[in-house]
Amino acid sequence: MQITALSFSEAEESGVGMDLVLSKESIDNIINVLDDDLLRAGADCVILVDRSGNLIVNRGDPANLDVVALAALSAANFGATAEIAKLIGEDDFALLFHKGKNENIHFTKVGKGFILITLFGKDVSLGLIRLNTAKVTDQLIPILGGEQ
């Protein structure tokens, strides 16, 4: 699997914030990872966003789901809980989980700058999702520019 992502970490050093450019090949690689390990495990929808709220990739069946708003709200949610983490002496939380009546949502931190959102129904076990998101996270980090 060839990695062609360009991550402009030098931009961060120069003080203008980090930008991300992903080639078609990198996007395809991300899609393969998400499809193989999460959709096939029973997730309804998998979305990768950055922590400033940009939607990077969404897979699965997001019918009737406003993924752009979900991306912005998830980034905000993660930011808000990071503040809670600081109050109890943690830097950040690595994952968040919200349980609904029929649909559940699982958020995992990917490197420093990204969040993986997994939507799954009540018939899918949380343990399986947690196991697979951990695997997916390890595979996504090098594609997204080697962020740790």
Partner 1 sequence: MSFIDLSKNEVQCKVVYYGPGRGGKTTNLLYIHQAMTEAVRGKMVTIDTKGDRTLFFDFLPLALGKIQGLSIKIQLYTVPGQVMYNATRKLVLKGVDGIVFVADSLRVQKEKNVESLENLRQNLAEDNIDIKEIPLVLQYNKRDLGGSNIPILSVEEMEEDLNQELQVPWFTGSALKGDGVFETLREISKRTVKYVSRKLLSR
What is the torsional sign of CA 10, 12, 16, 20?
positive
Q: Does 54 bind partner 1 (CB under 8 A)?
A: yes
Q: What is the DSSP letter of 8?
A: -
Q: Does 18 bind partner 1 (CB under 8 A)?
A: yes
Q: Which residues pair with 109 in a beta bridge?
A: 115
Q: Which pair of structure tokens corresponds to residue 65?
A: 């789901």
For residue 31, what are the contacts with CB-CB under 8 A and spacing of at least 6?
Answer: 57, 59
Q: Which stretch binds partner 1 (CB under 8 A): 5-13, 34-42, 103-111, 134-142?
A: 5-13
Q: Does 76 bind partner 1 (CB under 8 A)?
A: yes
Q: Does 79 bind partner 1 (CB under 8 A)?
A: yes
**Binding to partner 1 in span 88-117, by CB under 8 A:** 113
Query: How far, rounded to the nearest angstrom, does the alpha carbon of residue 37 sit from its chain's CA centroid?
Result: 13
Residue 74 near residue 86 (C-beta atoms within 8 A):
no
Q: Does 20 bind partner 1 (CB under 8 A)?
A: yes
Q: Does 80 bind partner 1 (CB under 8 A)?
A: yes
Residue 73 near residue 144 (C-beta atoms within 8 A):
no
Q: CB-wise, 16 or 131, nearer to partner 1?
A: 16
Q: Does 59 bind partner 1 (CB under 8 A)?
A: no
Q: Does 17 bind partner 1 (CB under 8 A)?
A: yes
Q: What are the residues binding partner 1 (CB under 8 A)?
A: 6, 8, 11-12, 15-24, 27-28, 50-56, 66, 68-69, 72-73, 75-76, 79-80, 83, 113
